[in-house]
Amino acid sequence: MVITPPSKVAVSNPKIEPLGLHHDRAAFLCLNQDLTDYMRDGRALKEAVQRDTSVYVCINEEKPTQIIGYFTLAQGQVSRDSIARGMYGNDWRSSSKFRNKIFSKFPRDFINATILGKLAIHSDLKGQDFGEELLGKALAMALKGADIVASKMVYLDAIHEKVVPFYVRAGFQRTEDGSLKMFLLMDTIASGK
Amino acid sequence: MLNQRQNSRLSGVSLDSSRLLPNTAPRPQLMPSTASSSKSYCLAASSERIELTPDEAKTLGEALMKPAPKANAHLTKILKNASKW
């Protein structure tokens, strides 16, 4: 009996679509266990069905059930107060100068952001720059979404220090030296289209 | 005995306390307010909260105050590629 190894996953005619029941979630494998489990153990589908986050999968048109990568997008908010405190201190409201600056720039109590919660590619695609392609797609979709529902930035919490340079190359900025929280202004993305 | 100011504010108002209902609606809360640099500010609300330390909030605030930088060559490239598929 000859056992043939499973064929390697490759990118041919990629397409992005929302995660659905017909996708083979159990076959997805990436180099990070958490990102693999998220897709396999039902959380991705549950969150997508409940509209807690939008889960987009990348497939090849020839094999429409095989997931070769995925990313999630959701809405989030930063409180204006936290920004103002960080910039001008806890008693920023007592200064008319600071109040004017903050209120003129941030008229609402919260600043909207698009959260790039997860981004993963199949382990067979490692080293092929497919992650960059998928990130480009995610940012393009975030920008499209921001034209419908206002959002000032794409925000993410990198899963590991090792992936930070991947995001820095695309223009993401750390919120602080050593922090894994990163952002990219939506206007910057718009200027690259 | 009500003083004149209180009386003028209440004049013409009939208050039936039996018709008042307690306000049980959940309200967003800012926490914690202690401003140690190691603390995070977070908003307890229904949407996804982004928690930032004061230093992180400062970096983000300053970036938002300034004009957004133009996309670098790499970002432009991956966005262009994304438009092809």
Q: Do residue A152 and residue B71 have CB atoms under 8 angstroms apart? A: no
CATH number of A14-71+113-191: 3.40.630.30
Q: For residue B55, is it within any domain?
A: yes
Domain that holds residue B38: 29-59
**A/B interface, count of CB pairs below 8 Å:** 149
Q: What percent of chain B has pLDDT over 90?
A: 39
Is B9 part of the contact surface with chain A (CB cutoff 8 Å)? Answer: no
The model's pLDDT over B28-42, given as tens digits with 9 standing for 90+, comes to: 444 443 333 333 333
The DSSP H or E segment spanning A56 is strand A54-60
Q: Which of A167, A169, A157 is nearest to B56 (CA)?
A: A157
> Is there a domain that residue B40 lies in?
yes
Residue B29 in contact with partner chain A when CB distance is under 8 A: no
In a domain, B9, yes or no: no
Residues 6 or more apart in contact with residue A111 via CB below 8 angstroms: A77, A78, A79, A80, A83, A152, B64
Q: Which residues of B touch A188 (CB under 8 A)?
A: 68-71, 75
User: Is B3 part of any domain?
Assistant: no
- Predicted pLDDT at B74: 97
Query: Looking at this predicted complex, what is its ipTM?
Result: 0.90
The residue among A47, A59, A62, A79 with the most chain B CBs within 10 A of its CB, best to mutate, is A79
In a domain, B52, yes or no: yes
Partners of residue A93 in chain B, C-beta under 8 Å: none
How much is the pLDDT for B48? 77
| A181 interface with B at CB cutoff 8 Å | yes
Instruction: Look up the pTM and report it.
Output: 0.80
User: Sorting pLDDT into bands at 50, 70 and 90, what band is A4?
Assistant: low
Coil vs helix vs strand at B11:
coil
**Beta strands A153-157; A110-121: pairing state:** parallel
A47 pLDDT more than 90: yes
Number of domains in chain B: 1
Residue B41 in domain: yes
Amino acid at B12: G
Q: Is A185–B41 a contact, with Cβ atoms under 8 angstroms apart? A: no
